[in-house]
Structure 1
Amino acid sequence: MATSSDNVDNVVRTLRESLKSLGFEVYPFKIGWYNAVVSQAHHLQYSADTLAVVVLSTPSMFENSFLPFLQRCSWKGIRDPVDQCVAHAISTCVSEHFPDQSVDMAFDYEMLPSRKPKFLAQTAAHVAGAARYYQQSDIQDPPWGNKKMFGVCIHPRLGGWFAIRAVLVWKDVEVGEELQRVSPPDCVSSQEARIELLERFNYRWQDWTYRDVVPTEESYSPQQREYFITPPAQREALLRQWGFLPDTEAEAQTSVNQC
């Protein structure tokens, strides 16, 4: 196991420098921080001091990474082109910059054979200090009785205008005291605001107003909003309308060969 702080700093710095221009943010954490707050069934099977990072996509990912990806590649038969784009960007970064290191990658859409997600995305973002995970347990006197209310992460600069995309684990890198856990900023601090956030997210998530619960530096562009409000089954037609999908099988095959 490599344990030097220089190695840890190099991993995080290299990832950030490589992925920032593509619209991603990177936050390191120890596996033990994550395992301490999830059930045994959701533990990540690594030693407590193993280095991991959570990768978020920011609003600029759409223009900086996704649209260029559409121009380069064909994803015929792929479930979701955004998922394919994110996996391509992150996998390429890891293979180019860490070819001799053992890195496990788990993406937010991947499931285990048990049908559990490979990792709990919002918990990972919270323990890494990237975004605070507001849950029903954060409300002192919940007004909903026994009704289940789902929690949601809020980013201090982006509000809800981001997505948690992946967790990467450096299996051979252990972290010492040089990596200190930092709590995510409590940007929705009042009980009233937290109640409003959870109600917006649980009852009116489709209007996206929960994303603006705090002032934000950046949000989705009009084109990005149109893409994500379009039902998944209709997005292929939208991309074809935008001119990002090839019209013929021959053109599609050419795109595959260039990807």
Structure 2
Amino acid sequence: MERCVVALEEKIRDYLGNLGFEIYPFKVGWYNEALPPAFHLPYPDNTLAFVVVSIPAMFDKAFKPFLRNQVLKKIRDPIDQCISYHLTLVKQSLDNQQLDIMYDYEMLPNRKPRFLAQTAAHVAGAAYYYQRKDVQQDPWGEKKIYGVCIHPRYGGWFAIRALLLFPEVEVPFLLRNSPIDCVTTEEKRITLLEKFNFHWKDWSYRDIIEVKDKYSEEQKMYFATPPAERLKLLNLQEDLQKNANY
């Protein structure tokens, strides 16, 4: 079984790695034990799952080629469609292997997210989820402070996109990889949470550590543009009108 799981992981990684994605395996039980029951994933504890994250290279390696080659449907953000397209191809490539995919933008009927992306990234060892509880001398009083994940190589220049869950694959033998604590001082953690909560629009929290790569100016402009205006930015409006009947 271990050999089959390694082969499965390599197959997924070989495809997605060339497109600017990373995958990290984890057991559903690790995720569930970190959260209250209302947020648990409805699978046995030993079920194999992967968290999928996009790194800066995804924009040029996956997204721009997708825009050139695919017919867009005016239903979601083009980035969401691109990721769905590639993960659907992954699913098809696995033949009869049962695979459930959860996307970061999906909501349950009660308006809760289908999964908590930052918790998943943390338990899988992809990125460290820095929260208020990681600061000993809390300076914020009654203010609401949201946590943020930092990737050890890309800082905040990445995104958590999806979960891949394999209901028929159990991995009691899977060893846990702890996320790398790369924002190690109290001062830097306070700075990180301050920047993320109160100055997130200036991108500065993403550079809390020295990074291997970051979003290009083109990519930053795209993500800084309101979703309703992104198609215009990409000169896609006419294409969508032509393909409105697809």
Please tell me the TM-score bracket, short chain as reference: over 0.9
Match of 1:180 in 2: 175
Contact residue 74 and residue 245 of structure 1 kept, 8 A? no
Match of 1:225 in 2: 220
Match of 1:55 in 2: 52
Distance (whole Å) between structure 1 residues aligned to residue 33 and residue 16 of structure 2: 29
Tell me the alpha carbon deviations over residues 1-57 of structure 1, each in whole angstroms, 9 at most, x when there is no partner.
xxx101211121111111001110000000000000011000001110000000000
Which 4+ residue blocks in structure 1 deviate beyond 2 angstroms? 244-250
Distance (whole Å) between structure 1 residues aligned to residue 40 and residue 162 of structure 2: 16
Deviation of 1:148 after TM superposition, in Å, equals: 1.5
Deviation of 1:245 after TM superposition, in Å, equals: 5.0
Aligned pairs for 1:1-259 within 5 A: 4-96=1-93, 98-177=94-173, 179-240=174-235, 244-247=236-239, 249-250=241-242, 252=243
**Partner amino acid for 1:24?**
F
**Partner amino acid for 1:133?**
Y
Distance (whole Å) between structure 2 residues aligned to residue 77 and residue 90 of structure 1: 19
TM-score normalised to the size of structure 2? 0.96
Contact residue 72 and residue 240 of structure 2 kept, 8 A? no
Contact residue 73 and residue 240 of structure 2 kept, 8 A? no
User: Residues 191 and 69 (structure 1 numbering): CA distance in 2 closer, same or farther, change over 3 Å?
Assistant: same
SS at match of 1:122: helix
Distance (whole Å) between structure 2 residues aligned to residue 99 and residue 39 of structure 1: 35
Deviation of 1:76 after TM superposition, in Å, equals: 3.5
Deviation of 1:74 after TM superposition, in Å, equals: 2.6
Give the unaligned 5+ runs of structure 1: none
SS at match of 1:9: helix
Deviation of 1:249 after TM superposition, in Å, equals: 4.2
**Partner amino acid for 1:222?**
E
Distance (whole Å) between structure 1 residues aligned to residue 107 and residue 23 of structure 2: 22
SS at match of 2:195: helix
Percent identity for Structure 1 against Structure 2: 52
Deviation of 1:234 after TM superposition, in Å, equals: 1.3
SS at match of 1:123: helix
Deviation of 1:91 after TM superposition, in Å, equals: 1.2
Deviation of 1:246 after TM superposition, in Å, equals: 4.0
Distance (whole Å) between structure 1 residues aligned to residue 190 and residue 50 of structure 2: 30
**Partner amino acid for 1:186?**
D
SS at match of 1:225: helix
Distance (whole Å) between structure 1 residues aligned to residue 135 and residue 113 of structure 2: 26
SS at match of 2:165: strand
**Partner amino acid for 2:196?**
F
Tell me the alpha carbon deviations over residues 164-219 of structure 1, each in whole angstroms, 9 at most, x when there is no partner.
00001111000022x21111000001000000000000000000100000000010
**Equivalent pairs, count:** 246
Give the unaligned 5+ runs of structure 2: none
Report which stretch shifted further, 143-152 or 201-210. Answer: 143-152
